[in-house]
Structure 1
Amino acid sequence: MISRRRAPLVAALPAAAALVATTACAPTIGVAAAPDAADPECAAVVLALPDALDEDLPRVDTNSQATAAWGAPGAAVTLRCGVEPPGPSAQCQSVESANGTTVDWIVATDDEGTWSFTTYGRDPAVEVVVPPAVMEDHSSSFVIDFAGAVSAVEAERTCQ
């Protein structure tokens, strides 16, 4: 027989087991921490990141400080705060969000079709990597969703 003092604990066990089972199935994406991931401004960036991109790329857990990911293992958009700030580049593009916030990004693509976007004029810099598997079904327009978060790091320079 269960004592009255232990009854609430016993009643909570099925709910706790369900929570553990649910979280055990959630994917964790491996993302290498950037050299300056411990910069306090990166914490502000990560806390302000969106819960989803393009409505069908939910945010998932990562295994490193100052990182984030959206999607599924092998096909996830990843973000790292604390990367080396890039110098001026012809690939610098200004992206304005609906609320008027502008973020300058250095945009690059490699031979395999992976896109990278690195904030320009902000230190620490933020890097977003979009693999070909995501680009098959999405445009890169969701980088606009990062404007509020990366604006936690003050812009010191602009593309122009």
Structure 2
Amino acid sequence: MNIFRHRPLGLLAPALLAAAVSCSPARDSATVAVPTPDAKTAPLCRNLHKVLPRKVDGRTRADPEPRSVYTAGWGNPAIILRCGIVRPPKMVDPEVAQGKDPNAIGGGVDGVDWLMEKEGDGTWRFTTSGRLAYVQVTLPEKLSGPDDSAQVLTDLAPAVKKAVPKGIGSMR
């Protein structure tokens, strides 16, 4: 009888247990829906992921679950970034373009244009416009207004400008 033939199975259970413990998400980590960018947008999002800052608004990077090159996060509660999202409907809404929608306005920060939308729960969501990929940033409730977002968008602008060229994103 070959004793080595059975030994790896005995070692497999502790190894699986250790892997499960090390891969389980922390209780306080955010969970977000991962975008599924098209083939033209995906490389831009992967490049953005590589150049994102370690800190945003003084908050340390703490990526959400499930881990993806299309998402990033900072702090707890987290500032969440998603790259490769579908173009928001408000981006082509004539009311927004004419400044008649109080819950959605356009603006720019350090050379990056954003659609700023107030959500039903009072939080704010920002989506790049005029870029080849749509990048969305959602603020936690305690950063409740567009004025609170200035440092967040300032910190993210260099990475967005470097990784996502100007242009019109996918219409999907």
Identity value in percent = 35
Counterpart CA distance in 2 for 1:37 and 1:133 is 33
* Partner of residue 47, structure 2: 44
Task: Using the TM superposition, give the Cα deviation of residue 117 of structure 1 relative to its aligned residue in structure 2, in angstroms.
Answer: 0.4
| Residue 124 of structure 2 is aligned to residue 115 of structure 1 | yes
* Partner of residue 166, structure 2: 155
Counterpart CA distance in 1 for 2:159 and 2:119 is 26
Name the one with the larger strand percent: 1
* Partner of residue 77, structure 1: 79
After TM superposition, list the pairs within 5 Å mapping 1:1-160 onto structure 2: 28-36=29-37, 39-55=42-58, 57-62=59-64, 63-65=66-68, 66-72=70-76, 75-86=77-88, 87-88=91-92, 89-90=96-97, 91-96=105-110, 102-135=111-144, 139-141=148-150, 142-151=152-161, 152-156=163-167
List structure 1 runs of 4+ shifted beyond 2 angstroms.
Answer: 24-29, 85-90, 133-136
Counterpart CA distance in 2 for 1:26 and 1:47 is 26
Counterpart CA distance in 2 for 1:79 and 1:150 is 11
Q: Residues 143 and 149 of structure 2 are in contact (CA less than 8 Å); yes or no, is this contact kept in structure 1?
A: no
- Normalising by the residue count of structure 2, what TM-score does the alignment of the two structures yield? 0.64
* Structure 1 unaligned residues grouped into runs of 5+: 1-19, 97-101
Task: Using the TM superposition, give the Cα deviation of residue 92 of structure 1 relative to its aligned residue in structure 2, in angstroms.
Answer: 1.5
In the alignment of these two chains, the number of paired residues is 128
- Normalising by the residue count of structure 1, what TM-score does the alignment of the two structures yield? 0.69
Partner-residue secondary structure (3-state), 1:43: helix
Per-residue deviation, residues 51-101 of structure 1 (Å, max 9, x unmatched) = 11222x1111322421001111xx2110000012343443221112xxxxx
